[in-house]
């Protein structure tokens, strides 16, 4: 029996690597003769860099960047085992976790640090950059990122706009003449776990800005700023980018990466699976075990569990999904090819206790599953 363990993280509790290790220990204990292959995954959000670097035998480089509040800080740049591909995790430079709750205000946060990491990859001569864009603290449409790479955003006096989404309402023109020319020779792939457009009720400001500290008034101000940015870009660069799937990801960073760097947005889990050769690993597989902290209706849209199930389903391989919680709407995962879903909680447990015990609970249920399968 050949089993692949391919989970995402249990957010706030375990990394995807730790999840995979716990499941593998349980399966090994319950079925000692089974061949177990651990392949932790991610979908473009936090943890993507760790997964890609570890799985490909790569390394990380510490870089000086501008934090989301404009403060100097350090962030890792990943280099994959091929020596040609960089991994930028925007959450490490421009992420919400970097901003104290009392200071969260997407009117003023910037993606400049993400641009700093991209520039560091260019300085190292890398020809391909994967940018994971989950977990942002920002809503600046990628303007900070592009500014760090030489793009100028000007007001009606041809003066540079200050950092922050609040100033986008004063935007009059975009000057690409200073853009780092190495961008034109570099392939940039954006790994995103959402497909939101830039604007509207499903866009960056109205869906995600409140989670980053925006009031109702702030949301409409941010929406107008991104609308102005989209208007200028459509008139002078490329029309219609604001409507592309993923343009609204990470406060519009998806839009900025496409508009100013010519990046391609792809489902994050597909980018990660491709980088770690997941399809090749499936060639001799009999069962795939995946999972994440919460299985629900949202899991069926671009998340790791869905990507794994679809890839395995193309080969007729059954998929089992484990979650800290199996919530309403999780049944939609059956449409993606998940054969069974199980919660790791043995009974009523509070959320904090479940998260604290996630490792032992994963190992316990995995051992029970493996023992059952081994007896059939």
> Alpha-carbon distance 137 to 126, whole Å?
27
pLDDT greater than 90 at residue 26: yes
Residue of 303, 280, 288, 325 whose CA lies nearest to 8: 303
> What pLDDT does residue 322 have?
97
Global confidence as pTM: 0.92
> What pLDDT does residue 306 have?
94
Q: What is the pLDDT of residues 233-252, one digit of tens each?
A: 999 999 999 999 999 999 99
Q: Domain 2-41+277-375 maps to which CATH number in 3.40.50.970, 3.40.50.10350, 3.40.50.720, 3.90.50.10?
A: 3.40.50.10350
Residue of 95, 110, 177, 94 whose CA lies nearest to 144: 110
In the chain the first and final C-alpha atoms are separated, in Å, by: 12
Q: Where are the domains of the chain?
A: 2-41+277-375, 48-269
The residue behind tokens 């459509």 is: 234
Mean of per-residue pLDDT scores for the chain:
95
> Alpha-carbon distance 288 to 332, whole Å?
18
48-269, what's its fold? Answer: Glycerate kinase, domain 2 (3.90.1510)
Q: What is the pLDDT of residues 286-332, one digit of tens each?
A: 999 999 999 998 888 778 999 999 999 999 999 999 999 898 889 99
Q: What is the pLDDT of residues 134-193, one digit of tens each?
A: 899 999 999 999 999 999 999 999 999 999 999 999 999 999 999 999 999 999 999 998
């Amino acid at each position: 029996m050949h089993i692949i363990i391919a989970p995402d993280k249990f957010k706030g509790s375990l990394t995807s690597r730790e999840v995979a290790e716990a499941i593998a220990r349980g399966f090994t204990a319950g079925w000692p003769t089974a061949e177990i292959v651990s392949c932790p995954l991610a979908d473009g959000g936090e943890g993507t860099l760790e997964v890609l670097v570890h799985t490909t035998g790569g390394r990380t480089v510490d870089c000086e960047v501008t934090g989301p509040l404009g403060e100097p800080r350090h962030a890792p740049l990943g280099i994959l085992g091929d020596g040609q591909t960089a991994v930028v995790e925007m959450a490490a430079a421009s992420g919400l976790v970097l901003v104290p709750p009392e200071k969260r205000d997407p009117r003023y946060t910037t993606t400049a640090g993400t641009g700093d990491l991209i520039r560091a990859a260019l300085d190292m001569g890398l020809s391909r950059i994967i940018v994971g864009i989950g977990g942002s603290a920002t809503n600046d449409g990628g303007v900070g990122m592009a500014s760090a790479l030489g793009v100028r955003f000007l007001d009606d006096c041809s003066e540079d706009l200050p950092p922050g989404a609040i100033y986008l309402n004063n935007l009059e023109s975009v000057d690409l003449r200073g853009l780092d020319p190495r961008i034109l020779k570099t392939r940039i792939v954006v790994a995103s776990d959402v497909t939101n457009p830039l604007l509207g009720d499903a866009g960056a400001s109205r869906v995600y800005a409140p989670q980053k500290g925006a009031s109702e008034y702030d949301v409409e101000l941010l929406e107008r700023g991104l609308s102005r940015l989209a208007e200028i870009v459509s008139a002078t660069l490329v029309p219609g980018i604001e409507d592309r799937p993923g343009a609204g990801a990470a406060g519009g960073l998806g839009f900025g990466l496409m508009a100013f760097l010519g990046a391609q947005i792809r489902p994050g889990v597909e980018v990660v699976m491709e980088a770690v050769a997941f399809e090749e690993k499936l060639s001799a597989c009999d069962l795939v075990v995946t999972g994440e902290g919460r299985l629900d209706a949202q899991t069926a849209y671009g998340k790791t569990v869905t990507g794994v199930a679809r890839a395995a389903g193309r080969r007729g391989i059954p998929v089992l999904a484990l979650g800290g919680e199996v919530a309403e709407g999780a049944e939609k995962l059956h449409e993606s090819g998940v054969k069974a879903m199980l919660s790791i909680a043995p009974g009523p447990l509070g959320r904090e206790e479940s998260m604290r015990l996630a490792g032992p609970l994963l190992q316990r249920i995995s051992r029970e599953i493996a023992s059952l399968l081994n007896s059939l």
